[in-house]
Amino acid sequence: MDLAALALNPTVAVLDNGLMVIVQEDDSAPLLSTALLYRVGAAEDTLDGGRTGKAHLFEHMMFEGSLSIPQPGSEAGLDELLGQAGVTTNGWTSHDWTVYTNQGHPGALDAILFAESDRMGWLLEAMGDDDLANQREIVLNERRGDELSDYDHPQYTLGWLLQPEGHPYRWPVLGTAEDIAQVERAELERFFRSWYGPNNAILVVVGDVEAEAVVASAERWFSGIEAIAPPARAEDIPHELLGSERWVMVDDRALPMLWLAWPTVPHGHADEAALDVLSSILTGGRGTRLDDRLLYDRARVTAVNAWTSNARLNGEFVIALEQPDGPLAPTLRRVDRELQRIVRHGVTQAEVDRAVGGWLGPEIASFQDAETRATMLALCSAMHGEPDCWRGEIEALAAVTPEDVRRVAETWLGEDRIVLSVVAPTDQDYALEGSARVYAP
């Protein structure tokens, strides 16, 4: 597959204080997108011996105003300031990263860089107790929403079971409700000073701009911020599951669910692409293995989904099924039979072609979106030290063979897994035999 047309050819510069600046010039439209990535996420929350949820809480606090930007709602607040410049802004946190994005007109570049530099360098000077209390309550409401969700809470519980004790991915990105409610200001300030500095960040600008001018603007706005000495990042904790571990989560749900999860590979591993293709061969509509066997042909379940998640330290492969009623054991046997068929007999080239096409179409289409490109350039740089890693990931998907799919199914989807039954209090006999009761904090 010739992907030369997808070359981004970014310009990379590093300021004296360590801030990496990446610029991808694109004059196809008078637009601008930025991404500012900090190399810190929920995995680093407890490295100082403190509480969970700090990285995500700071994602919220970054919108509460800084030294030169008043609180939201004032005429000069962050949203108001950028809104007047025609900019939309957002942010997100994962276990590995915190990213802030902005989209607008190229003329808004200085307004964006002013805002990002002010909250990087001078957030704590303006962080009031009322701001903290306000955002703490917002995050607690998010946690309550997750606990009420049919999917979020079981998925979080599954991750908690899959990771070993003390693993930095074991707690949710939002943190536990207890930690969010009790984390103290001094701990938050210490965390911010440890991680939110220019040499622990990557600034990406994509759009109708000139790289030299962008670097000069970045120098103007960020050069006054001193570099920090970030502590070592969280590391993986090797863990070998001892056979199939069965658990049951009792929740006030209308329908029983079955969740299966296997520990797999981190992002960038040679098997990542084949595992992605395997997930799309298993589920994704008529013509996929589990959909045909369980959803369409015999209506055994009401929903079935398979997906992969590959992060900096490790990954997981998940299958989730929902059925109208009845014991979950027969459903598990049917899933296992289909997985065994793949291991023994493999998959067809047609199945691989369909699955690969399903991945490549959205991937290549998203190349047209400046916001996606800005985020991908930042993530590639943070994960691999190479901003333009996108083509390599697409090439890896295009190169997956039927034997690759059979091999990763055999290698990674074996007995070392977590099996979670989710049932209502009145349907506890539907759970798999030998399941231990669990309720993640």
Say what the pLDDT of residue 221 is: 98
Which numeric CATH code is attached to 245-437?
Answer: 3.30.830.10
Contact at 8 Å (CB) between 57 and 413?
Answer: no
**What values do phi and psi take at 322, rounded to 5?**
-125, 135
Please indicate whether the domains covering 4-222 and 245-437 agree at the CATH topology level. yes
- Give the residues of the chain that fall short of pLDDT 70: 1-6, 71-77, 147-150, 241-243
Residue ranges per domain, the chain? 4-222, 245-437
- The CATH label, of 3.40.50.720, 1.20.200.10, 1.10.3720.10, 3.30.830.10, for the domain at 4-222 is 3.30.830.10
Strand order in the sheet with 257-263: 303-310, 315-322, 257-263, 418-423, 245-250, 436-437
Q: Nearest-CA neighbor of 153 among 165, 163, 144, 141?
A: 144
